[in-house]
Amino acid sequence: MADTIHEMSRAIGSLESSAKTLTTTWAEQDREATEGRRLLHAKIDDLKSQQATLAAQVAQQTSKLAEVEPAINASRRSASVPRGPAAW
């Protein structure tokens, strides 16, 4: 009977140790996952910022092109008009 109690005590101790190890492992993995999510969200926020900056630059360049485009078209039209003695 003493052996049975000793075996049960050992089994309970082993089970307790396994539960503590499992709990510790779970907590560590949870911390790592939380840190991974934090880093992912930081990267996404950075990409959003870069995308907004790029969109603003594209809008600015589009606006500048719209201002210059009439002059470019006028220059092209004047270049296609013959000049000099051959034009007479």
| This model's pTM is above 0.75 | no
Residue where the block lists tokens 């034009």: 87
Residue where the block lists tokens 């201002």: 67
- Amino acid code (one letter) for 63: S
Query: What's the residue count for the chain?
Result: 88
Q: Residue 6: what pLDDT? A: 93
Residue 7 in any domain: the answer is: yes
Q: Residue 70: what pLDDT? A: 87
Residue 74 in any domain: the answer is: no
Residue 22 in any domain: the answer is: yes
d(CA 40, CA 34): 10
What is the domain count for the chain?
1
Q: Residue 75: what pLDDT? A: 83
Per-residue pLDDT of the chain (88 residues; tens, 9 = 90+): 788 999 999 999 999 999 999 999 999 999 999 999 999 999 999 999 999 999 999 999 999 999 888 888 888 888 776 666 665 5
Measured at the CA of 50, the angle between CA 49 and CA 51, to 5 degrees, comes to 90
Identify the domain containing residue 43 by its residue range.
2-69
